[in-house]
Structure 1
Amino acid sequence: MKCPVCDSESYEILKTKGKNTKEVLLKCNECGNTYRETVVIPKMVECRVIISKFEESLKKTIKIYPDEVLEVGEVLVVDGEEAEITSLENVRGGRVSKSPVSELVTIWATSLSGPARVGISIDNHGWILSKKVEVDRDFQFNVGDVVKMGKAVFRIKSMKTITSKIRKGGATADQIKRIYGRPADGKDKFKYDLSSKIVEVVEEEQVP
């Protein structure tokens, strides 16, 4: 909104009235001129949100302005809980990383409430031991870490994150989908113990 006298866009709002259409009294910060503008505020629309929380997919809705632009990585508050946008589905049936709300059908997100759940697979010479653990979302795992989990002591060989598979470096638990490891040498000391974090135990299975 430009001042009609000096074209400055720097102003102070003195007064507003109205709901969907607001009449605004402004004072220019450059020349001191006061002027009125009419602002049309769009009605909020409901948009479907599917939130992943561990193995569950929760279907919810959120009210949001149609001209607002959403982007993957942004955090929304849905029913009082934070959820990070992982994908956006538009009216053309495609998945995009950025879109105005008016063109969206579904917002896909992952819950940021509570701990992160990480799958762990240990390859013991053709036998795979799989477990799941719950840890703080900012817990750091690194390739090369020696870890104790129940009776198993293993070394992390690689990790599958939301975006890629990594064989060096590390990532926080909220970015990791699965950790792959192999039994550690008997002389290796473990860096941390996840035994108390186990939430699901799967029977050992032989690799075909």
Structure 2
Amino acid sequence: MTHPGPDAGDRVALACPSCASDEATVHEVLKPGGNVTVRCTECGHVHKERYDPPREIELDVVVSQGDESLTTTVDVPAADTVEHGDEFVVDTAEAIMQVRVTAIELADDRRVEEATLEDVETLWTRAVDNVRVNVTVHPNDGRRDDSRSVTVSVPGDHEFVVGDTADFGDEEFEITGVQVRDDAPEYRFEKLDHEGDTVFAKDVKRVYARDVTSTAWSAW
């Protein structure tokens, strides 16, 4: 598979002779070609370098969104690694979506937490830019049999805050707790129920709430 070199204005990682470091720094391409003219964004030094773009492979990606799923392919650098929970953009015929890795499947059907992309057979993902969140709403009088389940559609970066009152059209409820998804990073606990605890919609497994039209009652 042949890949073109970078265009003017692209950014590439190269060693800078002026920075006197073996570590690659970000360079802006000023003039493309076999030997590209680049400017180091760290020190501003302009120099020519041979730049060979990383080898890319075509990778199968399954994207789940609600009860539906689709399969597409993406071109990725073969030597890069992927981890469970990583996010990236997928450009499909249906839409451009931000997705999160939920499973990494190798050629022998084995699933791992991390792998080099060249070794990956399929990436299983779910869309996180727009999500549907399940909410269990309890009445304030404590009658669990009268609890109801509703689903709200929100952007992935919408925040659910414990203690806040949420209003979605005909639905209005006070959030009493949030159950966090297994693939969601950087949360203290699987369930959050302290006032002010905040969870992005893309990280929510279920929201627990109470009907604001009844008397006080807690689901937690």
When normalised by structure 2's length, the TM-score is 0.60
Question: Residue 159 and residue 8 in structure 1: after superposition, are their counterparts in 2 closer, same or farther (change >3 A)?
Answer: closer
Q: 1:153 Cα shift?
A: 4.6
Give the match's secondary structure for 2:202: helix
Q: 1:141 Cα shift?
A: 1.2
- Do the aligned partners of 1:85 and 1:107 also contact (CA within 8 Å) in 2? no
Mapped partners of 1:185, 1:95: distance in 2: 47
Deviations 1:127-150 (A, max 9, x none): 231111112332221122234556
Which stretch shifts more, 101-110 or 156-165? 156-165
Aligned residue number for residue 181 of structure 1: 209
Q: 1:38 Cα shift?
A: 9.3
Instruction: Indicate yes or no: 2:67 matched with 1:67.
Output: no
Aligned residue number for residue 137 of structure 1: 156
Higher strand share: 1
Give the match's secondary structure for 1:102: helix
- Structure 1 residue aligned with 2:118, among 102, 107, 114? 102
- Do the aligned partners of 1:51 and 1:83 also contact (CA within 8 Å) in 2? no
Aligned residue number for residue 180 of structure 2: 161
Question: Residue 74 and residue 137 in structure 1: after superposition, are their counterparts in 2 closer, same or farther (change >3 A)?
Answer: closer
What percent identity do the matched residue pairs reach?
21
Structure 2 runs not aligned, ≥5 long: 1-13, 41-46, 183-189
Instruction: Indicate yes or no: 2:129 matched with 1:117.
Output: no
Aligned residue number for residue 84 of structure 1: 99
Q: 1:46 Cα shift?
A: 1.9
- Do the aligned partners of 2:100 and 2:128 also contact (CA within 8 Å) in 1? no
**Larger CA Rg, structure 1 vs 2:** 1
Q: 1:47 Cα shift?
A: 1.2
Mapped partners of 1:153, 1:38: distance in 2: 57
Q: 1:93 Cα shift?
A: 3.2
Q: Extract structure 1 runs of 4+ deviating beyond 6 A.
A: 10-15, 34-38
Which stretch shifts more, 140-149 or 117-126? 140-149
Q: 1:58 Cα shift?
A: 1.2
- Do the aligned partners of 1:156 and 1:182 also contact (CA within 8 Å) in 2? yes
Structure 1 runs not aligned, ≥5 long: 18-23, 189-208
When normalised by structure 1's length, the TM-score is 0.63
Which stretch shifts more, 59-68 or 176-185? 176-185
Question: Residue 154 and residue 86 in structure 1: after superposition, are their counterparts in 2 closer, same or farther (change >3 A)?
Answer: same
Question: Residue 8 and residue 132 in structure 1: after superposition, are their counterparts in 2 closer, same or farther (change >3 A)?
Answer: closer
Mapped partners of 1:180, 1:73: distance in 2: 27
- Do the aligned partners of 1:48 and 1:59 also contact (CA within 8 Å) in 2? yes
